[in-house]
Structure 1
Amino acid sequence: MDNELKRTLGVSDAVMVGLGAMVGAGIFAALAPAAGAAGGGVLAALALAAVVAYCNAHSSARLAARYPSSGGTYVYGRERLGPFWGYLAGWGFVVGKTASCAAMALTAGAYLWPGREHEVAVAAVVGLTAAGCGGVQKSARVARLIVAAVLGVLAAVVAACLASGAAGAGRLDGGAWGGPAGLLQGAGLLFFAFAGYARITTLGEEVRDPGRTIPRAVPLALGIALLVYAAVAVAALAVLGAGALAGSSAPLADAVRAAGRPGLVPVVRVGAALAALGSLLALVLGVSRTTLAMARDGHLPRALAAVHPRHQVPHHAELAVGAVVAVLAATADLRGAIGFSSFGVLAYYAIANTSAWTLGSDVKGRAVAAVGLSGCVLLACALPLASTLAGAAVLALGALVYGIRSRLRSGT
């Protein structure tokens, strides 16, 4: 068929796509606001976010092995729970992650050219959309290069902070904890940093031997990201403490400066920009594949389901997503996108865990799905009120659109 994708990605490719999304979204964007919410409990919040992410990853990997097609939880919810729940998952993912794409583009712009971040962001969106249209293998190669560079920068940050005489000036206990509510809110914000492994499952139709590849790639990407996050968080806390970390707009640059290595600041700025670009690339891939799946089912214009005959990518979907993201990047201030995106992704994974619960009588699988579902609901409710209200309004709008279209189709 002319709208089917080609399976070209192996385990290492899939891991790099997932890492590209997680590392860029997490360390440079979510650590400071999480420290502001959780205070000295930021490391505990990181651990809690990781537990919920693991449960979601386990459930998603089981589902992806059963349903190896593009769309992720949109497909799983549709197949296991019914068309409405699949649609709602896809709606939340596309809207929330489109905003995240713009936020990552603006992050890159702010680091590369402060004061002209909108122009840089638009250029980044155009360039990476073109890379995505060139084929998923090309995107995976770009992601691999970006991840390697970013991990090198983060290793330098950790080494500089822990080896400096300033280590210990901050406190690893971070000072006062934010209490249970602050811990949960911090975990909800840090969950944003772990959401990148969803890119692996949304690319399920382009993965070789998905029954084996996806269950291996998802926990590998998640485990590597957790180790990186923990090392960087400990290093930043060691020199800054939670208070200074929470108040910083560029926490890793401030950390190396406090560690007595100001020469590393430009390197960190470039690393942050690369991380954001890697995240943007992976996000565009994931959103376009969910758009493709929804277009195939008629929930979005069917023209978006077209697959390029040569490059074997959903080029119409990628161009449409790129165009919307470019407009947002040119016009919007999306500093609140982390909380909004976290709410949408937590709702997305709540549906994934519910879908995984229905797979069978596997005791471990059901237990993990139950913990994941409970964690998603708890963290979503603990997010800042504005994020919760905005996310709930977007989901309600999606449900309303679905209801109206269903009534029009039935003629009632």
Structure 2
Amino acid sequence: MTPKVQLKRELGLLEITLSGVGIILGAGIYALIGKATGLAGNAVWLSFALSALVAVFTGLSYAELSSMFPKASAEHEYARSAFGNRLAFIIGWLVILSGIIGASTVALGFGGYFNSFFSIPPLVSGFVLIIALSFLLFYGIRESAWFAIVATLVETAGLILVIYIGLPYLGKVNYFEMPNGLAGVFQASALVFFAYTGFESIVKLSEETKAPEKTIPRGLLLAILISIILYVLVAVAAVSVTGWEKLATSGAPFADLAFIALGSEAFTLLTVIALFATANTVLLMLLGSSRIIYGMADSSTLPVILAQVHPARRTPWVAIFIAMVLSMLFIFAGDIAFVANIANFTLFVTFFVINAAVILLRYKKPQMKRPFRVPISIGKFTVLPFFGILFCIFMLFQLEWMVLLIGAALVIMGWLLSYVNIKKV
């Protein structure tokens, strides 16, 4: 019998941290800050800070679970250990969908920026981008990670440039001006959470990481902390330059901000940086989706053919191909803010389950080795994941009813699909 080909362990703390920062700092902040400012006004920085609480509490839960179960199937494995196969399948389904829908939407965002330079329809350049990045993922995890690192440095430089541009304007506006009151700040917080998505994708690289029990939790928490600091500073700088009214109506908020402060050359520079940001996000969303498809197939929850690893490249080529095809189908999705909130729904539900899994496993498997433990417990009850659950529920109630309806339909669809795979689960 031919021995099973394993994924290649190439990644260290630097690659994991920068890959995490890369997807977190991707298209969300570049595309959604204008829409969020329309809801929260100059207090949009507060919306980013509130969203960060969900990321921090849930990130700690991911860190503990990833140290216990260093598997590419990530959320599916965590949910299965705590709640059983049925709910695990639904969570895996939601995570796959969030990555695929997100990648498709951001690819169209890339197409919009690309169109401003070369007059190529966004749909065409979006298709080409998905195909090209899927080939890169097939070619090798190390090459993909280094592309992500380069793109991360570029897009992080763009955010630092925005902060620099805003420095002379600090104090020019009232940073607590809320045109829609606290309700607007909360709604914006639910929307901009899309800008934080990605930290959860880090755990899907466990089987390609050196010493994953220690490296994954450290890289995850570092990526979240770096992103929070940059986001709050960028939000303050952006409203300082333009005020919330102008920023809210901009289709390319950072590029327009640069034009106001520094002229047309800065506009071009920020547009190029936005291309790197959106491409990087698509790459890492496709990476995360393909890895959980692979992980679920490897555990026989999905058809085992999806777990095939290419013997030469040592990458899960079938899972990558499926993620690519589905993303190309979903590229016809509409408004980025609406679709971002659908992705947020799937993540809030997933994060609810992840935080609950940490609490339950402290009782169910107290003796299991935990190289990383979420701090602050009362007996066996761990407190911070409970706050993560409360914040997830709060964020769900900030979403519009149509998003909740579509999200509920996706959950029901996953539940029905789990019965199609009844022999597997």
Q: TM-score band (shorter)?
A: over 0.9
Q: Any stretches of 5+ residues in structure 1 without a counterpart?
A: none
Alpha-carbon distance in structure 1 between the residues aligned to 2:320 and 2:174: 43
Contact 1:172–1:241 (8 Å) recurs in 2: no
Q: CA deviation at 1:247?
A: 1.9
5+ residue gaps, structure 2: 364-373
Matched ranges for 1:270-289 at <5 A: 270-289=272-291
1:15 equivalent in structure 2: 17
Which deviates the most, 304-313 or 254-263?
Answer: 254-263
Task: Give the aligned residue type for 1:238.
Answer: S
Aligned to 1:387: 403
Indicate whether 1:358 and 2:360 are aligned: yes
**Corresponding position of 2:75:** 73
Distance 1:71 1:177, change over 3 A: farther
Conserved in 2, the CA contact under 8 Å of 1:168 and 1:239? Answer: no
Aligned to 1:294: 296
AA aligned to 2:260 is: A
- List aligned pairs for 1:8-407, cutoff 5 A: 8-114=10-116, 116-163=121-168, 171-173=173-175, 175-329=177-331, 331-335=332-336, 336-360=338-362, 364=376, 366-406=382-422
How far off its partner does 1:388 sit? 1.8
Q: RMSD between aligned alpha carbons?
A: 1.9
- Residues 9, 207 of structure 1: 8 Å contact kept: yes
**3-state DSSP class of the match of 1:9?**
coil
Which amino acid in the other structure matches residue 119 of structure 1?
A: V
Would you say the 8 A contact 1:161–1:256 is kept in 2?
no
* Distance in 1 between residues matched to 2:6 and 2:397, nearest whole Å: 38
1:177 Cα shift?
4.4
Q: Is contact 1:17-1:199 (8 Å) kept?
A: no
**Distance in 2 separating the partners of 1:58 and 1:100:** 23
**Kept in 2: contact 1:41–1:178 (CA 8 A):** no
Instruction: For residue 405 of structure 1, report the CA deviation from its aligned partner.
Output: 4.1
The number of equivalent residue pairs is: 405
Counterpart amino acid of residue 193 in structure 1: A
Q: What fraction of aligned residue pairs are identical, expressed as a percent?
A: 28
CA contact (8 A) 1:25 1:275 kept: yes
Deviation at 1:55, TM superposition (A): 0.4
CA–CA distance in structure 2, aligned partners of residues 46 and 343 of structure 1: 17
Change (3 A) 1:268 1:230: same
Q: In structure 2, what is the Cα distance between the partners aligned to 1:99 and 1:355?
A: 25
SS, match of residue 29 in structure 1: helix
Give me the whole-angstrom Cα distance separating, in 2, the residues matched to 1:180 and 1:168: 21
Which moves more between the two structures, 290-299 or 201-210? Answer: 290-299
